Amino acid sequence: MSFAKLDAHCRSLIALEHALSILGVDEATAMAPGGGEQRAEAMAGLSGMYHRQATAPQVRDWIEAAKTETLDQAQQTAVAELERSYVNLTCLPADFVEHKMRTGMRSEQLWRTARPKGDWVGFRPALEGVVELVREEAAMRAELLGLAPYDALMEQFDPGNRTETITPVFAELKAFLVDFVPKALKIQDEKRAKRPLKPLSGIYPVEKQKALGIAMMKAVGFDMNHGSLSVSDHPFCGGVPTDVRLTTRYRTDEFLPALMGILHETGHGLYEQNLPKDWAHWPSGKARGMSIHESQSLFVEKQIGRNPAFWTFALPHVASHLGEDWAMDDLLPHVHQVKRGLIRVDADEVTYPLHVILRYELEQDLLAGRLEVKDLPEAWDAKMGDYLGISSLDAPQNGPMQDVHWPSGAFGYFPSYTLGAMMAAQQWATISRSHPDINEEIAAGDFTTVNTWRRDNIWLKASMGSTPEILRQATGEDLNPAYFIAHLKTRYGA
């Protein structure tokens, strides 16, 4: 039976995925500095094996044959999702894939040295080469999938996401935010005039911060029997669903950044830990994509972790672990700080979407040839001025050189961040409707309702529907910016 062959095929691939994933975690958390070269060799070797096995011609035959077999609904979905993954892996000529990978890696390496110096002129030719290949790639994917080129790129990260849906949603959000950011800043200024911002600085030993972080991870539902928390230069959620590896980084003079980072990664981790076990080795049993993943991390970080109700629960834990007995009115202004800034990854939840929308617009222009790389700094600056009223023209490292995405060839990825934020707000609104006491539960440290809802509606759905389908089934409607806008108004507008 071909379905059984595909099942064995998926099991074999998952062993290689497991190895690649753990090797990646190990590299960031435990590898000796001199081990990098051989690690890269080993991972390239395993990736090659993975690609050869995943794209073997007989897999296509098994898929075709399995479609004619008597399968239940979950099996049919599994085969369909495997086919999507197979097509995605085989739709580009092998020599193009290799050429693009090498170009992207060289460009990324160049970016790593050029960025700190703000050397746009030195880096530009590399980015031009990448953009040229991305245009080719998008055209090929578009042709094969019958999609518009930019949609074909987004399809890799979030199946089902289309500019047709996203552009009007982003337009509405942008119009709101350009107006709302100055208002929110004014309100913040007025509040601070009444009650000055009290610094949260102190001396917070790493071990105590870690204990606090783990207490919060456990509280919001993370299973420490199937995961752990360690340290890396850049926080991430990695590993495998049965052993989810979260990392953070600590400063000993403040605790909030590490703690909020832990909550964010915990959101990713809860999703991974609660994917359906029976389908763990099939693509249909894996996390859906970037925007739903981000909706889960932002649900925990923003909807829960920056919710005043959460801090009713969390403040006594901060006090017992760090010995700091903050007043709610001194802590919340830090948790809800709004600040215009040039750097996306440092942005708060109010200004962040404008960074993403700027990139969403510019990368479509680049792809369509309406914009060339040489004109990017000016185009970037013009939008940054329009949206946030600030300029990076004299420091490209804080402008179009700030992110790794474009230098590495990842176009169509940026929208996921803000789509995730909006989906998280929409999910929260859905839960609140049927559970009006949700804030009281959270203030009491009871996360059962939010977790049960997400388990049933998001986590166990894995990749058994497209991104928009999962959102629609979970919340009863398509992506609707009203929830995120209402969320920001409530939290920052009064």
Specify the residue, 235 or 333, whose C-beta has the smaller distance to its own copies. 235
The tokens of 192 are what? 């601070």
| Stretch 207-226 residues interacting with its own copies (CB under 8 A) | 223-226
CB of 56 to its own copies, least distance (A): 14
**Which of these ranges, 7-15, 328-336, 391-399, 430-438, lies near its own copies under the rule CB under 8 A?**
7-15
Please tell me whether residue 145 binds its own copies under the rule CB under 8 A. Answer: no
Please tell me whether residue 233 binds its own copies under the rule CB under 8 A. Answer: no
Specify the residue, 410 or 462, whose C-beta has the smaller distance to its own copies. 462
Specify the residue, 43 or 145, whose C-beta has the smaller distance to its own copies. 43
What amino acid is encoded at 371 in this protein?
Answer: L
* Neighbour tally for 273: CB within 10 Å: 21
Please tell me whether residue 444 binds its own copies under the rule CB under 8 A. Answer: no
The tokens of 311 are what? 């801090």
Tell me the C-alpha distance between 148 and 143, whole Å. 8
Please tell me whether residue 330 binds its own copies under the rule CB under 8 A. Answer: no
C-alpha pair distances (Å), 172 with each of 165, 178, 402: 12, 10, 26
Please tell me whether residue 40 binds its own copies under the rule CB under 8 A. Answer: no
Residues 6+ apart with CB under 8 A from 252: 203, 204, 205, 206
Contact with its own copies (CB under 8 A): which of 5, 18, 435, 489?
18
Contact with its own copies (CB under 8 A): which of 1, 11, 112, 327?
11
Tell me the C-alpha distance between 318 and 311, whole Å. 9
Tell me the C-alpha distance between 368 and 16, whole Å. 37
Specify the residue, 40 or 382, whose C-beta has the smaller distance to its own copies. 40
C-alpha pair distances (Å), 163 with each of 140, 167, 291, 340, 383: 18, 5, 14, 27, 19
Please tell me whether residue 480 binds its own copies under the rule CB under 8 A. Answer: no
Specify the residue, 47 or 473, whose C-beta has the smaller distance to its own copies. 47
CB of 411 to its own copies, least distance (A): 30
* Neighbour tally for 455: CB within 10 Å: 16
Please tell me whether residue 23 binds its own copies under the rule CB under 8 A. Answer: yes
C-alpha pair distances (Å), 208 with each of 202, 254, 255, 316, 323: 13, 12, 10, 14, 10
Q: How many CA atoms lie within 13 A of 444 on its CB side?
A: 8
Contact with its own copies (CB under 8 A): which of 1, 4, 41, 69?
41
Tell me the C-alpha distance between 430 and 475, whole Å. 6
Tell me the C-alpha distance between 295 and 426, whole Å. 10
What Rg value do the Cα atoms of the chain yield, rounded?
A: 23
Please tell me whether residue 243 binds its own copies under the rule CB under 8 A. Answer: yes
Binding-site size, its own copies (CB under 8 A) = 43
Tell me the C-alpha distance between 273 and 266, whole Å. 10
The angle that helices 120-145 and 149-157 make with each other, rounded to 10 degrees, is 90
265 is catalytic: yes
Of 71, 56, 84, 85, which is closest to residue 3 (Cα–Cα)?
71
Contact with its own copies (CB under 8 A): which of 5, 26, 309, 469?
26
Tell me the C-alpha distance between 185 and 198, whole Å. 17
Contact with its own copies (CB under 8 A): which of 160, 227, 238, 285?
227
Specify the residue, 29 or 337, whose C-beta has the smaller distance to its own copies. 29
Which one is catalytic: 81, 137, 155, 265?
265
Please tell me whether residue 232 binds its own copies under the rule CB under 8 A. Answer: no
Please tell me whether residue 446 binds its own copies under the rule CB under 8 A. Answer: no
Contact with its own copies (CB under 8 A): which of 5, 28, 39, 142?
39
| Stretch 276-315 residues interacting with its own copies (CB under 8 A) | 280
Please tell me whether residue 206 binds its own copies under the rule CB under 8 A. Answer: no
**Which of these ranges, 31-39, 288-296, 377-385, 434-442, lies near its own copies under the rule CB under 8 A?**
31-39
Contact with its own copies (CB under 8 A): which of 165, 242, 312, 337?
242
Please tell me whether residue 22 binds its own copies under the rule CB under 8 A. Answer: yes
Q: Strand pairing partners for 231?
A: 248
**Which of these ranges, 13-21, 109-117, 181-189, 255-263, lies near its own copies under the rule CB under 8 A?**
13-21
| Stretch 47-66 residues interacting with its own copies (CB under 8 A) | 49
Tell me the C-alpha distance between 340 and 332, whole Å. 18
CB of 245 to its own copies, least distance (A): 8
Contact with its own copies (CB under 8 A): which of 30, 94, 328, 395?
30
Specify the residue, 12 or 391, whose C-beta has the smaller distance to its own copies. 12
Specify the residue, 241 or 412, whose C-beta has the smaller distance to its own copies. 241
Specify the residue, 46 or 178, whose C-beta has the smaller distance to its own copies. 46
Catalytic residues: 265
Binding site for its own copies (CB under 8 A): 11-12, 14-16, 18-19, 22-23, 25-26, 29-35, 37-39, 41-46, 49, 223-228, 230, 239-245, 280
